[in-house]
Amino acid sequence: MNLDEYRSAARVWLAANADRTDDAREFMARLYDAGYSGITWPKRWGGQGLTQAEERAFAAEARDYALPTYIFSIGLGMCGPTLLDRGTDAQRERFLRPLLRGEEVWCQLFSEPGAGSDVASLQTRAVRDGDGWVVNGQKVWTSVAQHADWGLLLTRTDVDVPKHKGLTMFVVDMHHPGVTVRPLKDMTGRSHFNEIFFDDVTIPDKHRVGEVNDGWGVAVTTLLHERLSISAGVGMGGGADWLARLREAVDTGDPLVRDQLVELHIRSRALSLFNQRLSQETRAGLFPGARGSAAKLLLAELTLYTADLATSLVGPESVVDEELSHAISLAPAMALGGGTNEIMRNIIGERVLNLPPEPRVDKTVPFKDLKVGTQQ
């Protein structure tokens, strides 16, 4: 099937299926059965083994629909790709197909009350216990954890070495009796994220991802996928096509309004082309590195610009329109989640522009000797 045929088939399938249900798991199962889940993932692990071109074609057709795939965005955009890159074959065999079929939801457990931008200062401890591990600690801002079956969990396993060197990554069962999930209400009025408590949670060693104390290396892989998937909107569902919505809502005969909409179009298009290039490079084995942070920063700025524009163009009605007011009040989160704009600028400054790095006095000091975060 050539690309045009693929795109036409996707259009027909979406027209028949996209609005049939709000049930996310049931929709993902249908998406999988139709061959539109894991489009670029290897066939061996349940994917379609196709290229970015097919993925983009499907995404372009899906943009006009509000697909109920939000709860799978962390699994599809971050946890699954991390297991593809860094997991064992047994982990890929066990976890990837149920994720693609919508049978299991994933969350990503990195941030803590004392460790957000400086996530390497986290304190959730994993201690060896026979053939497994016992975990105690707290995470926060964990998106979709209230729906999750599994979590990708970053823990501290060694306090006698510098902070980046004593971390280990695990897959944790979110249904373990020692896991408590408390949804947090954000300023949209909904609960996008949660705080999580771990009390003597046991994890078998076969659920360790990467080597003991190499969790930072695995986390960098996850964060890179996070930035790329956020900026590309992977798995976040369509429906948020602001330009189309604004075109309907405002007087496009006004030259000033037209100018602002053209600005929005140009910025969206430039970001989309930048993302396209990054994903092509990634598939070709070129590591996009810090340029993934540039894409994430551009998206955050574009989202804030769009929210401001929508507020000023639509006026007070933007508060009454439930979907629009939700999107506007969620916009600032884009400048925080997945790394703040300031942190993205630090990364770009140091790794793209080669500016002098921030002074870091804590890189060689054992973690237990640091006064970081909430550590006493």
Ligand X SMILES: Cc1cc2nc3c(=O)[nH]c(=O)nc-3n(C[C@H](O)[C@H](O)[C@H](O)COP(=O)(O)OP(=O)(O)OC[C@H]3O[C@@H](n4cnc5c(N)ncnc54)[C@H](O)[C@@H]3O)c2cc1C
Give residue 353's region: left, alpha or beta (phi > 0; psi -120 to 50): alpha
Q: Count the site residues for ligand X by CB under 6 A.
A: 21
Q: How many residues does the chain have?
A: 376
Q: At closest approach, how far in Å is the CB of 343 from ligand X?
A: 6
Binding pattern for the stretch 305-334 against ligand X, x by CB under 6 A and - elsewhere: ----------------------------x-
Q: Which position among 141, 170, 198, 367 is part of the footprint of ligand X (CB under 6 A)?
A: 141
In degrees and rounded to multiples of 5, residue 175 shows phi and psi of: -95, 5
Q: At closest approach, how far in Å is the CB of 348 from ligand X?
A: 12
Question: What would you report as the CA-atom Rg of the chain, rounded to the nearest whole angstrom?
Answer: 21
Cβ proximity to ligand X: between 50 and 109 the closer is: 109
Q: At closest approach, how far in Å is the CB of 290 from ligand X?
A: 15
Tell me whether residue 340 is exposed, middle or buried, using C-beta atoms within 10 angstroms of its C-beta: 0 to 12, 13 to 18, 19 or more: middle
Cβ proximity to ligand X: between 250 and 327 the closer is: 327
* Packing angle of the helix pair 255-283, 291-314 (nearest 10 deg): 160
The rounded distance, in Å, linking the Cα atoms of 346 and 356 is 10
In degrees and rounded to multiples of 5, residue 41 shows phi and psi of: -75, 150
Q: At closest approach, how far in Å is the CB of 193 from ligand X?
A: 5
Binding of ligand X by 143 (CB under 6 A):
yes
Which residues does 212 contact at the CB level (< 8 Å), separation at least 6? 157, 168
Q: Which position among 147, 192, 225, 291 is part of the footprint of ligand X (CB under 6 A)?
A: 192
Catalytic one of 55, 226, 248, 281: 226
Residue given tokens 């590309």 in the structure block: 232
Q: Which residue is nearest to ligand X (CB)?
A: 116
- Ranges within 56-75 binding ligand X (CB under 6 A): 74
Cβ proximity to ligand X: between 272 and 340 the closer is: 340
Binding of ligand X by 339 (CB under 6 A):
yes
Clarify whether 54 is annotated catalytic: no
Nearest to 231 by CA among 279, 287, 280, 284: 279
Cβ proximity to ligand X: between 229 and 275 the closer is: 229
Cβ proximity to ligand X: between 47 and 215 the closer is: 215
Which residues does 311 contact at the CB level (< 8 Å), separation at least 6? 318, 328
Q: Which position among 36, 58, 95, 193 is part of the footprint of ligand X (CB under 6 A)?
A: 193
Q: Which position among 84, 172, 224, 343 is part of the footprint of ligand X (CB under 6 A)?
A: 343
Binding pattern for the stretch 93-132 against ligand X, x by CB under 6 A and - elsewhere: --------------xxxxx----xx---------------
Which residues does 53 contact at the CB level (< 8 Å), separation at least 6? 3
Cβ proximity to ligand X: between 284 and 361 the closer is: 361
Q: Which position among 340, 349, 366, 372 is part of the footprint of ligand X (CB under 6 A)?
A: 340
Cβ proximity to ligand X: between 310 and 333 the closer is: 333
The rounded distance, in Å, linking the Cα atoms of 305 and 319 is 17
Q: Which position among 336, 348, 370, 372 is part of the footprint of ligand X (CB under 6 A)?
A: 336
Among all residues, which ones are annotated catalytic?
A: 226
Binding region for ligand X (CB under 6 A): 74, 107-111, 116-117, 141-143, 192-193, 333, 336-337, 339-340, 342-343, 346
